[in-house]
Amino acid sequence: MNNTLLENDYGKQRPTILDRQGVIIAKSALIRSVYANPSKIQDKSKVIADLMKVFPQLNRNELKKKLYSTQNFVWIVKNITKNEEHNLLRLKLDFIEVRKNYARIYPHGRLFSHVIGYVNVDQNGVTGLEKWVNSVNDSVVISTLDIAIQHVLHNEISYAVNEFGAEWGGAIVADIDTGEILGMVSYPDFDPHKINSPFDKCMFNQMTAGIYEFGSIMKIFNLALCVAHGDPNKEYDVSSNLTIGSFTIRDITPFNGSLNIVDGFSKSSNICYAKAALDIGGEKQRKFLESLNLFDQINLEISEVGKPSKPSHWSKSTIVTASYGYGISLTPLNVLHGLMKLLNPNYDNLKLVRNAQYNCEKSQYQYSSNIAKLVIHCLNNNAKKWHSKGISDHQFGGKTGTANIIQNKKYVQKKNIVSFVCIFPSYKPKYAMIVMFGAPKPSQSTFGFATSVWFTLPVARNIINILMNSRLAFEK
C-alpha cells in the first residue's frame, strides 16, 4: 500500500488528520464546482434563467453581475451534488463548465478550529496543524487529540464564557507521562470552512499565542524553588505588609502569625512567598525558572505560539513579584510544560502529533523526587478549602491564579485574567489541565467577586467529573 500522497489532475490532496482513536478531523474530498467564461457567453439572460432552474439557491442579482462582467473566469457555485451536475450537463450550456478539485473538509466544524487551523484556496495550510501538515508526505497524520475530551472541553468552556460574560475562555488537557495534548479549546472559535478575515479576534488562539500574568499559579514554581534551594520548614512572619521600595505586598486574606511555604501555599500568602524568594536570591530564582523553560517559546506542531516576556533586569522587586505571579508573562503552554517537568523526570515536550520526535535539550537541572511529592501534596491539599465554594469532589488538586489585565502597559483594575492549573486523579496524577477566562464579570453567583476560584474551579470540576466518570480520560 502506498502511503505517499500524489498530485493529480484534481489538484493537491492533503493528508487526512485523525484523532488518537482514528476519528477523522480533517480530510481532502473531491468536489464539483461550476465556473463560466462570461466574455464568451452570448445569450446571458437565457443562461441565467437556466442556471437558476438548476441552482435555485443562487442569488439572481449576484449571478447576473458575474455573467455580465468582462472576465474570462468566474465561479458560479462550488461543491455541487452529482444530481445537480447531471441536470446542468443536460442543458449543454456553452462556456459553463464543471471542474473537479480537492477541498478540505472538517467534519466537526468549529470543534477543533484553533488547533487544526484551516487552508487557503490553494489548499495550503495557513494555521494550526494544517500548516505543519504542509511538509508531510504521508497520507495520514494521527494527532494526540481525543474527540470525546475535545467535546467536553468545548461544551464546558463555551457555556462558561457566555455564562460569565467573559471576553474569552480556554482549556488544555495533557498527559503528564507522554506530554501528549488530549484536548485544546480556545473560545470564541471559528468555522474553518468560512474564513472572513485572519485578523478577526475569534481567530486568535488564546491558549497558545496569548501571554498573560498568572498570579498565584507562579507559587507552584516558587514552591519547587524553595525545596531545591531553601528550607521548606522555615517560617516567615506574615502579620504585616511587606514594603519593597515604592511597592507594598499584601495578602488578600491577612494572617496574624508565621507560615512556612507549605502553609503559605494553602493560604496563598504573597508575603510568605516574597520573603522566601528574597531569602534564596534572584540569581537562583531566575535560573530555576529558566530551567523549567518558562521564558522559552514552546516547541509545538503549530506556529501560533507566543513568546513569554522576561524582565531584562532581575531586581529585588522582580524577585518579589515573580514569587507570586506578577511582572512575568507566560503562555498557558509554558505553565503546563513547567508543571509537567516538575512532576515527571522523563517528560520532554508537549505534543500534538503521536509518535512525534523532538530534539529537545535535556535540562541540566535535576529535579528531586521530593519536589514532585511536595508539589502534588500542596496541590491536593488545596482541595480541603473548596468545600466552602461548593466543591466537594476530591478527585483533583490544583492552584488558582488571578491577575489584573494589562492594557497599554498598565494594570486595569477589576478586570482580571483568571486561571486554574490542576492535576488528576489526585491519588496518582496522570493528567494536567489548565482552564482560563479573560475578564469574566462578577455576579450574584460569585457574590460579587472577580477572583479565579469562583470561575475556573467549578468549570474544571465539571470537566474532570465528566472525564473521570465516563473514563474518557483513561482510553488509550
Q: Is the pLDDT of residue 452 over 50?
A: yes
Q: Check residue 358 and give its pLDDT.
A: 58
Mean local confidence (pLDDT), 269-287: 95
pTM over 0.75: yes
Q: Which residue has the higher pLDDT, 218 or 408?
A: 218
Q: Check residue 391 and give its pLDDT.
A: 54
What is the average pLDDT score of the chain? 90
| pLDDT band (50, 70, 90) for residue 79 | confident
Q: Check residue 198 and give its pLDDT.
A: 83
Mean local confidence (pLDDT), 171-192: 97
Q: Is the pLDDT of residue 7 over 50?
A: no
| pLDDT band (50, 70, 90) for residue 1 | very low
Q: Is the pLDDT of residue 122 over 70?
A: yes
| pLDDT band (50, 70, 90) for residue 5 | very low
Mean local confidence (pLDDT), 110-139: 94
Q: Check residue 2 and give its pLDDT.
A: 38
Q: Is the pLDDT of residue 9 over 70?
A: no
Q: Would residue 462 be called left, alpha or beta, if left means φ above 0 and alpha means ψ between -120 and 50 degrees?
A: alpha
Q: Check residue 294 and give its pLDDT.
A: 97
| pLDDT band (50, 70, 90) for residue 3 | very low
Q: Check residue 4 and give its pLDDT.
A: 43
Q: Is the pLDDT of residue 421 over 80?
A: yes
Q: Is the pLDDT of residue 476 over 80?
A: no
Q: Check residue 468 and give its pLDDT.
A: 86
Q: Which residue has the higher pLDDT, 158 or 12?
A: 158
| pLDDT band (50, 70, 90) for residue 8 | very low
Mean local confidence (pLDDT), 190-197: 92
Mean local confidence (pLDDT), 202-209: 97
| pLDDT band (50, 70, 90) for residue 6 | very low
| pLDDT band (50, 70, 90) for residue 395 | confident
Q: Is the pLDDT of residue 194 over 80?
A: yes
pLDDT, tens digit (0-9, with 9 covering 90-100), for 294-349: 999 999 999 999 999 988 899 999 999 999 999 999 999 999 999 999 999 899 99
% the chain with pLDDT above 70: 92
Instruction: Tell me the three-class secondary structure of the chain, residue by residue.
Output: CCCECCCECCECCCCEEECCCCCEEEEEEEEEEEEECHHHCCCHHHHHHHHHHHCCCCCHHHHHHHHCCCCCCEEEEEEECHHHHHHHHHHCCCCEEEEEEEEEECCCCCCCHHHHCCECCCCCECCHHHHHHCCCCECEEEECCCHHHHHHHHHHHHHHHHHHCCCEEEEEEEECCCCEEEEEEEECCCCCCCCCCCCCHHHCCCCCCCCECCHHHHHHHHHHHHHHHCCCCCCEECCCCEEECCEEECCCCCCCCEECHHHHHHCCCHHHHHHHHHHHCHHHHHHHHHHCCCCCCCCCCCCCCCCCECCCCCCHHHHHHHHCCCCCEECHHHHHHHHHHHHCCCCCCCECECCCCCCCCCCCCCCCHHHHHHHHHHHHHHHHHHHHHCCCCCCCEEEEEEEEEEECCEEEEEEEEEEEEEEECCCCCCEEEEEEEECCCCCHHHCCCCCHHHCHHHHHHHHHHHHHHHCHHHCC
Mean local confidence (pLDDT), 406-432: 89
| pLDDT band (50, 70, 90) for residue 389 | low
| pLDDT band (50, 70, 90) for residue 145 | very high
Q: Which residue has the higher pLDDT, 247 or 307?
A: 307
Mean local confidence (pLDDT), 367-379: 92
